[in-house]
Amino acid sequence: MEKIPVTNLIDKFGLERLNEEEINNFIEVSDIKRPGLELAGFFDYFTPERVQLLGRTELSFLKELPPELLEERLNKFFSYDIPCIIITRNMEPPQPVLDLSKDSGVPIFSTDYSTTNFMSLLSGYLEAEFAPEVTKHGVLVEVYGVGLFIRGKSGIGKSESALGLVKKGHRLIADDAVVIRRAMRDTLVGRSPEISKHYMELRGLGIINVQTLFGAGAVREEQSIDFIVELEKWDDETEYDRLGLNEEQREILGVTLPLVTIPVRPGRNLAMVLEVAAMNYRLKNMGYNAANEFTTKLKDELNK
């Protein structure tokens, strides 16, 4: 999302409004500002576009200021375009803060949270809202806690494989279209577009609802993506990875993920292959690599 209406914060965090001005402001950055230094007179690096958080420290400081100086600092503070001000611990801001926020049309709220707690809540919320997002073709399933993003051409059998996995007790997150967002710097989280959530299309049967057919345990709202599985038509001319020593990678939204290419042939039990791929991924993450161990064993044997 590019900007969030300030009004969204009121419902989300149960904020209390301290002035009754109409709110039309938007938040455009995910960072949060505690303007302590600015209130002390240092405005050189002020970032007014952020949500301004006033806690106990800032308010006590303001109360200590002589009236003329308080007025001067606040005038300067409110001369910037500020999306909104939030006061923590339900504290009472000095009257000039309320007056000036009203005059300059800056919404001002209070919350009963402590400043640090509220800051981390708000930061988590804003980070998620501003996270870059993209919709990709593919199926997202969770297998033994591992998020598999299955890709490949239409009709290759992505949905059938996912159904096979669901039948074995794993979970479907999204069929055919996956909305992917970068949650942290190197984590991708996928979910289904709201309309198609829990639905799946199977050639010959049409649209089915996985949750009603297989129960609440068969679906999940969100899942982090751990690796990509590319399904492709089995080609006798292509050399497939026989050892699993080389790791291919693919980038989505600037995050690099491991990629496994699996050739598809009629009769190949794809659900089982994918289940093993997920388990193997877990093992590798725990520090065990079967391919490495096997080749080391072989090398030792040859050196005897």
Question: DSSP labels for 233-278?
Answer: E--TTSPPPSS--S-EEEEETTEEEEEEEEEE-TT--HHHHHHHHH
Under rule CB under 8 A, residue 195 binds another protein: yes
Question: Which of these is catalytic: 56, 137, 168, 203?
Answer: 137
Q: Residue 43: count other Cβ atoms within 10 Å of its Cβ.
A: 16
Question: Which of these is catalytic: 11, 185, 236, 242?
Answer: 242
**Is residue 154 part of an annotated ligand binding site?**
yes
Residue 148 contacts residue 140 (beta carbons within 8 Å): yes
x/- map, 13-42, another protein, by CB under 8 A: ------------------------------
Residue 191 contacts residue 179 (beta carbons within 8 Å): yes
Residue 166 contacts residue 139 (beta carbons within 8 Å): no
**Is residue 156 part of an annotated ligand binding site?**
yes
Residue 91, burial from CB neighbour count under 10 angstroms (0-12, 13-18, 19+):
middle
Among 199, 244, 252, 261, binds another protein (CB under 8 A): 199
Q: How far is the CB of 201 from another protein (least distance, A)?
A: 5
Q: How far is the CB of 185 from another protein (least distance, A)?
A: 22
Q: Is 242 a catalytic residue?
A: yes
Q: Is 176 a catalytic residue?
A: yes
**Is residue 164 part of an annotated ligand binding site?**
no
CA-based Rg of the chain, rounded to a whole angstrom? 27
With CB under 8 A, what is the number of residues at the site for another protein? Answer: 19
Distance, CA of 27 to CA of 7 (rounded, Å): 10
Which segments are annotated as binding site?
152-159, 201
Catalytically active residues, by annotation: 137, 158, 176, 242
Question: Residues marked as binding for Mg(2+)?
Answer: 159, 201
Which residues form the interface with another protein (CB under 8 A)? 134-137, 153-155, 175-177, 179, 192-193, 195-196, 199-201, 207
